């Protein structure tokens, strides 16, 4: 029996090593690495090794990497700027495709086109330089354009879906197509792209012409507001961990998850090296040596605290990758026992 198990594990390792060779052969321009720790690729700086990691600096290489994994039956995960994601301590048994194409095309008038790997803040600055209004409230949000579209990133009552004209996708059938935003089922911090295997290659935005000085002033105010309550840029965090709750009345403002957690006393909670930021109760920070298991335990306690205090069940905004269903389900909120 022991011999059979050893032979099976050896065979699996050979198959995994072949994944890197296949990708290197099919995408010679891509940087293929094996056994890269995902803590080096994510803003939370947590995560075990990926079997293989390929960095795609061109849109065509990104498309080729996705298609290769699909055709070869290789498990894969697309990573942009590395924010808004928590990988398990075991890592990811498959290929992590890091999207780094960062091209920007401008068009006459009020349109911009950006590759998915472009940092969102770079797009904000480009719009500012062109005197185009719309991105001001998104200033300071970490991550890439593609990741922002997938999660419909936003702040201060605006989201990126409102600015989209069309999105270039690799479809589930392997075709490259431009699709309208209303086909992507955008919702608060959600889109169809979170649930499908479609991949964002680039996007076109329609903005409004505005006064450059006024746009710059709003961006400065937005960044200053974020700086007052968010960790510094070099802090290890995935961003807001839980989604804000629906408004109490139709058309009203969403209820901030951070406010509920603050009132419940979550600030300063800690498990291992993972702790709740002292200025924002919806942000988890890695002090340096936090494990994914620490973050899961801490956020479970935060959810339970919010439920006990306000009777609400918070929903994770950060995507959790590489965990078993049992690991996630056993950390569900528990209602008080009734007699």
Residue 68 dihedral angles phi and psi, to the nearest 5°: -60, -45
51 touches 17 (CB < 8 A): no
Whole-Å CA distances, 144 to 99, 121, 160, 193, 316: 9, 8, 12, 15, 20
Question: Tokens 């009203």 identify what position?
Answer: 252
Q: How would you list the strands of the sheet with 176-179, edge to edge?
A: 104-106, 111-115, 199-206, 164-170, 176-179
Rounded distance between C-alpha atoms, residue 52 and residue 12, angstroms: 14
How do beta strands 274-276 and 283-286 pair?
antiparallel
**Which tokens sit at 250?**
């139709």
Strand pairing of 76-79 and 92-99?
Answer: parallel
Residues involved in catalysis? 189, 240, 317
């Amino acid at each position: 029996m022991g011999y059979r198990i050893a032979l099976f594990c050896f065979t699996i390792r050979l198959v995994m090593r072949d994944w890197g060779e296949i990708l290197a052969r099919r995408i010679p321009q891509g940087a293929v690495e094996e056994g890269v720790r995902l803590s080096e690729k994510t803003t939370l700086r947590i995560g075990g090794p990926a079997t293989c990691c390929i960095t795609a600096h061109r849109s065509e290489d990104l498309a080729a990497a996705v298609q290769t994994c699909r055709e070869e039956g290789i498990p894969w995960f697309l990573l942009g700027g590395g924010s808004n994601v928590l990988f398990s301590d075991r890592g990811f048994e498959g290929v992590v495709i890091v999207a780094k194409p960062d091209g920007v095309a401008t068009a006459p008038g009020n349109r911009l086109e950006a590759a998915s790997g472009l940092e969102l803040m770079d797009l904000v600055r480009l719009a500012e330089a062109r005197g185009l209004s719309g991105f001001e409230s998104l200033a300071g949000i970490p991550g890439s354009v593609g990741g922002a579209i997938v999660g419909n990133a936003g702040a201060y009552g605006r989201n990126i879906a409102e600015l989209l004209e069309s999105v270039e996708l690799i479809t589930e059938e392997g075709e490259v197509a431009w699709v309208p935003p209303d086909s992507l089922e955008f919702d608060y911090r959600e889109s169809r792209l979170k649930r499908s295997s479609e991949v964002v290659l680039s996007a076109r935005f329609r903005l409004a012409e505005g006064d450059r000085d006024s746009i710059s002033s709003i961006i400065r105010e937005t960044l200053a507001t974020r700086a007052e309550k968010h960790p510094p840029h070099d802090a290890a965090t995935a961003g807001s961990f839980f989604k804000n709750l629906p408004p109490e009345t139709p058309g009203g403002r969403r209820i901030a998850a951070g406010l509920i957690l603050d009132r419940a006393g979550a600030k300063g909670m800690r498990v291992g090296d993972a702790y709740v930021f002292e200025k924002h109760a919806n942000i988890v920070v890695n002090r340096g040596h936090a494990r994914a298991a620490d973050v899961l335990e801490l956020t479970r306690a935060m959810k339970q605290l919010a439920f006990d205090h306000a009777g609400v069940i918070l929903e994770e905004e950060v995507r959790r990758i590489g965990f078993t269903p049992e690991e996630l389900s056993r950390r569900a909120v528990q209602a008080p026992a009734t007699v």
